[in-house]
């Protein structure tokens, strides 16, 4: 299961939940059949999705196991987990960043620049956090730089502007 958000609050009277999704990306939501909620003390419970719809910065989710507003209020602030396979893109779709975690980053000459260990954002674009020579460098993950994503060999090839990824200063 993958953490993607948290229950912000109960919504309406019938037990719906407003779930804030951290990334704002919800293309997987219509395929979601179940989800898990986890409390701060680690209690984890699975729920079955009756319906789901986009709302503000997340989703309104109705679970079969939540019958009314009082029950929904008891779930507020819990972490929201989905099945990992919902975060796998189909060919031709935009990828989920988590799909390329631990991939090698190479330049167009096939020189390994480092390993993708995490992700960040500067508000405008996603950033790859690449570990190289014991240091971490942030690289803009934009279409203009991406040349190839090789899932079979777990490699991302990018054509980066000179100086953007300077190993001497990394």
Question: 97-169: what fold?
Answer: SH3 type barrels. (2.30.30)
Q: Give the model's pLDDT for residue 166.
A: 64
Output the six-digit token pair for 47.
């729920």
Query: Full-prediction pTM beyond 0.75?
Result: no
CA distance 75 to 39: 8
- 133-143 residue pLDDT tens: 889 999 999 99
Domain boundaries, the chain: 2-87, 97-169
Examine the pLDDT at 40 and tell me if it is beyond 50. yes
Higher pLDDT residue, 103 or 97?
Answer: 103
Examine the pLDDT at 164 and tell me if it is beyond 80. no
DSSP secondary structure string, 72-126?
HHTTTT-EEEE-GGGG-PPTTSPPPGGGGTTPEEE-TT--EEEEEEEEEE-SSSE
Report the CATH architecture of 2-87: Beta Barrel (2.40)
**Cα 156-159-163 angle, rounded to 5 deg:** 115
Examine the pLDDT at 80 and tell me if it is beyond 90. yes
């Amino acid at each position: 299961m993958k953490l993607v958000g948290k229950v912000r609050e109960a919504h309406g009277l019938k037990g719906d939940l407003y779930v804030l999704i951290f990334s704002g990306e919800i293309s997987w939501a219509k395929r979601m059949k179940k989800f898990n909620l986890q409390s701060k003390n680690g209690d984890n419970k699975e729920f079955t999705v009756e319906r789901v719809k986009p709302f503000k910065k997340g989703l309104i989710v109705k679970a079969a196991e939540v019958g009314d507003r009082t029950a929904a209020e008891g779930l507020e602030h819990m972490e929201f987990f989905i099945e990992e396979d919902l975060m796998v893109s189909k060919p031709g779709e935009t990828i989920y960043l988590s799909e390329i975690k631990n991939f090698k980053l190479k330049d167009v000459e096939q020189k390994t620049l480092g390993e993708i260990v995490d992700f960040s954002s500067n508000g405008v674009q996603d950033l790859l956090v690449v570990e190289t020579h014991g240091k971490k460098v942030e690289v803009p993950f934009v279409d203009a730089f991406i040349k190839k994503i090789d899932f079979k060999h777990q490699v991302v090839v990018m054509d980066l502007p000179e100086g953007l990824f300077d190993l001497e200063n990394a």
